[in-house]
Structure 1
Amino acid sequence: MKFPIEFTSLLFRKPSKKNDVENDFIEGSQNQILGTVISFRTGFTFLGALFLIYFSFKIFKVDWDSTLDTFKTLDIAKYFIAFTAYYLSFLFRGLRWKTISFNASVLDRSSDCDSTLRHASSFQYSVLVLSGWFVNSVAWLRLGDVYRAYCLGVISKLGFSWGIGTLVAERFLDMIIVLAMILASVMMLSSGVKNQALDFLVIFAFIITAILTAFVLLLAIAGKRLASRLPISVRSHYSQFKIGVLNSFKNIFMVTFLGLAAWFMEITRLFFVTASLNVDMSIYLIILATMSNAVLSTFPTPGGIGIVEPGLTGIFIISVSSSDAASITLLDRSITYLSVLIFGGLTFLLYQAWFQKKSKIIPTHDVG
């Protein structure tokens, strides 16, 4: 696959007077993404994931007749509310990312970079977030995150490394919220609950958060010393990356509020998914399952497929039958995965058309 190699190489690509990176992007060579990620290899991945889902449901002893009966009780109105809540979360995510990127550009207030970020609409950020989630849904290794960092780096003229830094900060803040809500939900559930999926979830969420925390602290404490040991050709990229990460934490209360608002929309989505199937479930388990989705989708399969489904089902089994658990999981994934393939894909194509028409080539700044 050329896509991951092309994007990863941007971190170490030497600046060009002709702005080759930006020219390639504007001229549309990035549209090869669809051709490179939607390949036979991806197709085999989906087939393998479907087999894994089927096998895990066999382990959970899902009664498919009962599952189909549950689907027959679907309340379309409540499902539509769940669907709407999910896509409203992208508005909050977009506004949060705009705030983070504006924070991270604080050292460059005198330039046109600041003007570009200031005048970019929150909706534009939201569209880019959704486009990135689409790429994540069809590509390995969460390349959608790399894609939107690339887009932001070009739009802001601050570079790809800086854009990646803002996403690291975003992910770090997200995992703090996710881990806190997982722990709170687990404590509110019955202390007698024994579930392997739950144990795995807590441990994995803690590991991810610990790694991100250690990484951010390393940048803050030893960032300058690390820079001095890097090759000269890499230092400017590292400096941009460091600024993208550490400066993002300004206006932390606003950023945290927007993150919580996005997660509230996600929780609302799952609440109405369960309500649409007339399944009674504790709000604490709904919160736990919502956060589980975020953690499990971290796995580098396209959209977390093959991992999220058995993981969520294992969580739901804490309080409902395996058949109801499978019903909720499949219906929820129709929103968080299948709809993203459709609406996210359409958004991706429309965004590319807009980007190629409106973007201008301006040299990327090396923020030191």
Structure 2
Amino acid sequence: MKKLKIIIPLIIGFFLIWYTYSKFTPTQFAELKQQFTKANYFYVVLSMIFGFASHLSRAYRWRYTLEPMGYKTSYANSLMAVGIAYLMNLAIPRSGEVSRALVLSRYEKIPFEKGFGTIVAERIADLIILLSLILTAFILKFDVLVSFLEDKNINTSKFIILIIAGGLLFLIFLYLLKRTKSKTGQKIKGFILGLKEGIMTIITMKKKWQFIAHTIFIWCMYLIMFYVCFFAIKETSNVSVGTSIIAFVMGSLSVSFTNGGIGSYPFLVAETLLLFGIDYASGTALGWIIWSCQTLLVIVYGALSFLFLPVYNRKK
């Protein structure tokens, strides 16, 4: 089962790579190669700097959730634990959270369950920001999304009714979940209670405003890291901030489908930009440039963390 969790996302990723390039004409292939050659890589390097700034902030933010439990961790260990977590997520989806907690358990003597609980609280804060961005993107480009649905012969009114019906079904599900005594229901209930506890941890922590400020800073760095790359390609340099937010959201969601977003990230970025008039070759080139610079940053940062973590703690 664990092997399937690794293999299936990889299969999806490589299928999307094949599917993307199967649609390319020889002219588009030539244009794609030209985009990589002509790209201004100064903006790519700048993007990686902003990306690393977000990691620095994430490592610092983590300490705010540990302090209320009486743990004061080394910033270097927090920073390297975050680096290892990102690297692990590239290989095995959603394994990074476990590895972060394990690093602190080994080198800072913080019980695994407590370390993991703080990571859950962080993830909830990140989820709230991501949902806010999805809502912002929907409001900013509502007319374009409506036009897209109409082009696909999807009735907008029916689509809205479907969303409302989905919301009502979700409320009914929560009501039934509250009353259920089945093992599966209890597991789901435990997960939801864990989310609630994570939110309460953020609300009740002493330095909640510092935590919130770091959370906003992290996501601002993500957005800037993404948007800066648009200037690397001439055809995407005039894309509006609103359009880039939608592409960013789609790119962020792609990481859930495949290992580190391989295949799915460039595909969804290109498909999104195509809605706003950016040709497929330029959108695909941009998607691969953004994904490659982020992945390279994670590999270098994660590998150095793996190497220096035992050395730093041996000296300490």
TM range (shorter): 0.7 to 0.9
Query: For structure 1, which segment, 148-157 or 42-51, has the greater mean C-alpha deviation from structure 2 after superposition?
Result: 42-51
Structure 1, unaligned runs of 5 or more: 5-36, 106-113, 200-205, 223-229, 231-238, 360-368
CA contact (8 A) 1:100 1:166 kept: yes
Query: Alignment RMSD, CA only?
Result: 3.7
Q: How does 1:92-171 map to 2 (within 5 A)?
A: 92-103=57-68, 105=69, 114=70, 117-121=71-75, 123-139=76-92, 141-171=93-123
1:316 matched to 2:273? The reply is yes
Partner of 1:52: 16
Alpha-carbon distance, 1:155 to partner: 4.0
Provide the rounded CA distance (Å) in 2 between the counterparts of 1:339 and 1:151: 20
Q: What residue in structure 1 maps to residue 44 of structure 2?
A: 79
Residue 158 (structure 2) aligns with: none
Aligned letter for 2:252? Answer: A
1:276-334 CA distances to partner (integer Å, 9 max, x unpaired)? 112221111222222333322133x4213233232222222222111111011000011
CA contact (8 A) 1:313 1:325 kept: yes
Alignment of 1:185-200 (within 5 A): 185-189=137-141, 191-193=143-145, 194-195=147-148
Q: CA separation of 1:135/1:177 partners in 2, compared to 1, >3 Å: closer, same or farther?
A: same
Match of 1:270 in 2: 226
CA contact (8 A) 2:255 2:261 kept: yes
Q: Give the counterpart letter for 1:331 in structure 2.
A: I
Contact kept in structure 2, 1:101 and 1:248, CA below 8 Å: no
Query: How has the CA–CA distance of structure 1 residues 67 and 149 changed in structure 2, closer, same or farther, with 3 Å as cutoff?
Result: same
1:258 corresponds to which of 210, 214, 220: 214
Letter in 1 for 2:13: A
- Report the 3-state secondary structure (helix = DSSP H, G, I; strand = E; otherwise coil) of the residue aligned with 1:317: helix
TM-score (norm. length: structure 1): 0.64
With over 3 angstroms needed to count, the CA separation of the structure-2 counterparts of 1:51 and 1:154, relative to structure 1, is same
Structure 1 runs of 4+ with >6 Å offset: 41-45, 239-245
Give the residue type in structure 1 aligned to 2:217.
A
Partner of 2:261: 304
**8 Å Cα contact 2:13/2:261 also seen in 1:** no
By how many angstroms is 1:341 displaced?
A: 2.3
Offset at 1:78? 1.8
Q: Structure 1 counterpart of 2:64, which letter?
A: T
Aligned to 1:332: 290
C-alpha distance 60-152 of structure 1, shift in aligned 2 (>3 A): farther
User: Could you tell me whether the CA contact under 8 Å between 1:162 and 1:244 is conserved in 2?
Assistant: no
CA distance in 1, matches of 2:88, 2:99: 8
User: Counterpart of 2:302 in structure 1: which amino acid?
Assistant: G
**Equivalent of residue 64 in structure 1, options 29, 32, 39:** 29
Q: How far did residue 68 of structure 1 move?
A: 1.5
**Cα deviation, residue 160, structure 1:** 1.2
Which residue of structure 2 aligns with residue 22 of structure 1?
none
Unaligned stretches of 5+ residues in structure 2: 155-162, 179-185, 187-192
- Report the Cα distance in structure 2 between the residues aligned to 1:192 and 1:337, rounded to whole angstroms: 31
Matches within 5 A, 1:200-211: none
Give the alignment's TM-score, normalised by structure 2: 0.74
Contact 2:124/2:199 (8 A) holds in 1: no
> CA separation in 1, counterparts of 2:29 and 2:306?
35
- Tell me how far 1:240 sits from its aligned partner: 11
Go from structure 1 to structure 2 and tell me whether the alpha carbon gap of 1:63 and 1:97 turns closer, same or farther (over 3 Å shift).
same
The answer to whether the 8 Å contact 2:13/2:259 transfers is no
Secondary structure (helix, strand or coil) at the match of 1:281 reads: coil
Q: Contact conserved, 1:85 with 1:269, CA < 8 A, in 2?
A: yes
Change (3 A) 1:46 1:358: farther
| Paired positions, count | 277
Alignment CA distance shift 1:136-1:333 (3 Å): same
Q: Percent identity?
A: 21
- The answer to which structure has the higher helix fraction is 2
Question: Which SS does the other structure have where 2:305 is aligned?
Answer: helix
- Name the CA distance, whole Å, in 1 between partners of 2:86 and 2:295: 9
